[in-house]
Structure 1
């Protein structure tokens, strides 16, 4: 968590300096060689990777390997209480049933049909999957680690990170002026994070039109770059960088004058 705070502070200093340098220009975004968007990307990566690291620690514990909710529950509740984004922590069994720290009991839902569940049963971590939570209804990012014993998954420790709270944390840290905003896209142009909450989990084409979606898809073969586009009759200048950890594309955009 200390590393996250250091990154946040560094980002704020970089961002404020960069915006000040570009504020006297025509509105064309002019940030230093992707450094700023890289710092924003790093803040999100550090937060989610830190959650995954703790999930690993818990998943390797005797309590998690026991398959017993009563034994593992205190550890998961402490973890949940420490999360800055008030995420729901859950403990899943091989049949897809799961317990949550929010309810403290077995959920009436099942995650066996989730696209990420086969990864867990195969012993692989999950990081960055977007879902609508079955237990809470919140738009969430899934971070999860399987509990393995004898080469088989006997349980899984998972965290459903609310995208609205993560975006709010980023927005508070960045303190961007009006007309400058951040967002992150999945490779299929779905909006994972955004300064404006009503746009999250929609595709770029849904926010604009199919032509706009094509503009974004055309640059998603690059690891970093710039993109100018139109939205609601306004010209937008943006820079982006791809995250090798999440596979997302992190953007900072500014409305041109």
Structure 2
């Protein structure tokens, strides 16, 4: 089987874990205290099992613990898929930032190189940022707009890379994820290469690579609970994922014992929330 087929199998199996609470209700004490040879005691107790399995016994305990493991593996693979796509853009920007044309800081010298990269990547909006926040694009040249008020801008001008900052583009007007790499000359930051990845295009690419069944929804949100991704084409055009801001259910997510994983690249938190917001 191909990697994509394996991932789809994991997705299908992982959906079953959402019903673990009904399949294996918790027991306060082992039922075998009165009868040590009773059948439930054949299965070993699993103290590290999911909340709905703690205190459970018997063959189903191991089975559902395995489904939880599959769900965790699927969620990690989904987050990794997003990281790989963003990392590829970052690597290209790093390469551009090292070229003599871009390091010159002269738009006329770098314009041809950036225009060629833009043509090869229509899903992006590529730009060069000056230290004062003004910026150029291949289509417009100097845009007349300024990025110095963006949250990621100070760090970028200090030499930090940015990956996954969620914005509404000043040029495109579209919800986008920003990736940026500083440009240095003699160890000083002289500008930055940036790219806005359109969220709609990114989500469609994720859907094609890792379709998620209707029985669950995976959301990714940044540290301030601003929605980055929501699995399922239908979910992105209907509640709860229609909103461009925070999902209401994300604020209570820590109380739901949902499966989550945090990306070390973007800081996004990927969570399986089931169909819609979790039931309180």
TM-score, normalising length from structure 1?
Answer: 0.77
Residue in 1 that maps onto 2:82: 44
Does the residue aligned with 2:159 lie in a helix, a strand or coil? coil
Number of aligned residue pairs: give it. 221
CA distance in 2, matches of 1:70, 1:77: 11
Q: Is the 8 A contact 2:11 2:74 kept in 1?
A: no
1:18 aligns with 2:10: yes
Bigger strand fraction: 1
What runs of 5+ residues in structure 2 fail to find an aligned partner? 21-66
Contact 1:87 1:160 in 2 (8 A): yes
CA distance in 2, matches of 1:56, 1:26: 41
With a CA cutoff of 8 Å and minimum separation of 6, indicate the structure with the bigger relative contact order: 1
User: Residues 122-201 of structure 1 correspond to what in structure 2 (within 5 A)?
Assistant: 122-195=158-231, 196-198=235-237, 199=241, 201=244
Q: CA deviation at 1:18?
A: 2.7
After superposition, the Cα gap between the structure-2 partners of 1:202 and 1:217, relative to the gap in structure 1 and judged at 3 Å, is farther
Out of 126, 146, 150, the position equivalent to 1:89 is 126
User: Is the 8 Å Cα contact of residues 28 and 254 (structure 1) preserved in structure 2?
Assistant: no
Q: Which moved more, 1:180-189 or 1:46-55?
A: 180-189
Task: State the shift of 1:173 in Å.
Answer: 1.8
Relative to structure 1, the CA distance from residue 252 to residue 161 in structure 2 (aligned partners, 3 Å threshold; closer, same or farther) is same
CA RMSD across the alignment: 2.4
Instruction: Go from structure 1 to structure 2 and tell me whether the alpha carbon gap of 1:248 and 1:19 turns closer, same or farther (over 3 Å shift).
Output: closer
Give the counterpart of 1:28 among 13, 19, 23: 19
- Tell me how far apart the structure 2 counterparts of residues 44 and 117 of structure 1 sit (CA, whole Å): 23
Is 1:66 the counterpart of 2:104? The answer is yes
| Residues 33/60 of structure 1: CA separation in 2 closer, same or farther (3 Å cut) | same
**Structure 1 residues 128 and 19, CA gap change in structure 2 (3 angstroms):** closer
Deviation at 1:181, TM superposition (A): 2.8
Give 1:120's aligned residue.
156
